[in-house]
Amino acid sequence: MRSFGGVDQRPSGKRLLGGMLRSARRSPVERRVVPRVPLSVPIRYATEEGHVGIGVLVDISERGAGLLVPEIDFDVERVWIQFLWFDDRVGLHGRVAYVREAPEGLIVGMRLVGIRLEQLHPDSVDFLANLVIPFARSKLIHDRKVSWRSLNPRSLWQTYRQGRDGHPRPLPAQVEYGTQKVWAITEDAGDRGAVFLLPHALPVGAVVKMTPWGEQSVRTCKVAKSDALELLPLVVHRIVVLYEPAAAP
Q: What is the pLDDT of residues 69-88, one digit of tens each?
A: 987 899 999 999 999 988 88
Does domain 7-136 sit in CATH 2.40.10.220? yes
Model confidence at 189, pLDDT cuts 50, 70, 90, reads confident
**Same fold across 7-136 and 148-243:** yes
Domain ranges for the chain: 7-136, 148-243
- What is the rounded average pLDDT of the residues 123-147? 88
Closest CA to 206 of 192, 189, 227, 220: 220
- What is the rounded average pLDDT of the residues 127-131? 94
Alpha-carbon distance of 209 to 220, in angstroms, equals 5
Q: What pLDDT was estimated at residue 55?
A: 95
Prediction pTM value: 0.77
Prior bond to 212 cis, omega within 30?
no
Which segments of the chain does DSSP mark as H helices, in order? 122-127, 133-145
Q: What is the pLDDT of residues 21-54, one digit of tens each?
A: 333 334 444 455 568 999 999 999 999 989 999 9
CB 235 within 8 A of CB 4: yes
Architecture of domain 148-243: Beta Barrel (2.40)
DSSP assignment letter at 8: G
Instruction: Provide the residue type at 154 as one letter.
Output: R
Instruction: Give the DSSP per-residue string, 89-131.
Output: T-EEEEEEEEEEEPPTTSPTT-EEEEEEE-S--HHHHHHIIII
